[in-house]
Structure formats: C-alpha cells, structure tokens
Amino acid sequence: MLYTQTEVQALTPIRETVEKQAALDLRDAFLCHAWDDRQGAAKELHDLLESAGVKVWFSEKDVGLGVPLLRAIDKGLANSRVGLVLVTPALLLRLPKEGIADKELSALLAGERLVPIVHNTTYEALREVSPLLASRAGLNTKENTMAEVAAKIAELVNLGRPSSP
C-alpha cells in the first residue's frame, strides 16, 4: 500500500489510537455522513469497507425502527475505534444547520481518531464551513478511488489484530 507523506502524517496519530484499542471489542469505524448521501457515496463507502472486512457503524443498518436516533448514534460513537467523516457537498450544506451530522462531527473532533474523507469537494470548501475538520489531514477521492480509500481504512483499522491462519 502506498501512502503520500501527508497521508502518513495524518494517519499516524490515529494508527497509534487503533493499536491501543485493538484488544477491545469495538466496531472498527463510525461513518459520519450527510443524510442526503446515505444511499449514494456513504453507502458505497460502507459497502467497500465491509467487503474489506471492516466492521462499520452505519445509521442505515444500525438504527432499528423505533430506536431513538441520537442515543443509537451516541452508542455507535462510543463503541467505534475510529470515526470517518465523509465530506461531500451535501455535508457542507448540512453542517451549518447544526443537525445530527454536526453533533457527530463535534464528538469526533474531540479525539485523535478522526479521518476526514473528502469526496467531490475540496479542503478549501471544507475550511469555509469547518476550519477544525479542515485542519485534519485525511484522504481524498481526487487522489484515490473510493476503493483505494476503503483499502487504506481497512489497513489502518486492522492494526494490532491477530492475522488469520
């Protein structure tokens, strides 16, 4: 797997957190996304991650009928090793409205386990909406395909796990 120097710098603190949490029984990743992306880019990323063996908390499959959404999200955040924020034009429109994605982002910004994934937008556009999130280097689908992004995330979260025989 080839990483740019920027990706190495961005992922090293998260890698250290993942290694510390390897012994815990957690989901590998919490996928934060805009509601509008749930059947598009977010589902595509979720499916690629799952096919790579990553256990993903994804609201579309993890929030059951009649379950309080915010409590389910809170549990998902608490029980995930890393947080992925899928930054799309739809997310950039939603964040200023301070909805659910904004709440998820606030929780993820508090720790060293956040990986932004910029898709169909730019860090410059993100900086206008969320300077804190834009200050976190991550992955970009202009530089990697969505499948390559998923492979890099899979490699990251599989650190410290015993290899299969």
User: Per-10-residue mean pLDDT for the chain, 165 residues long?
Assistant: 84 74 71 94 97 93 84 88 95 90 88 92 95 92 96 85 53
Residue with structure tokens 């996304």?
Answer: 33
Strands across the sheet with 56-57, in order? 56-57, 27-32, 80-87, 114-118, 139-140
Neighbours of 122 (CB within 10 A): 14
CA distance 142 to 29: 22
For CA atoms 130, 135, 139, 141, the dihedral sign is positive
- Whole-number pLDDT of residue 24: 53
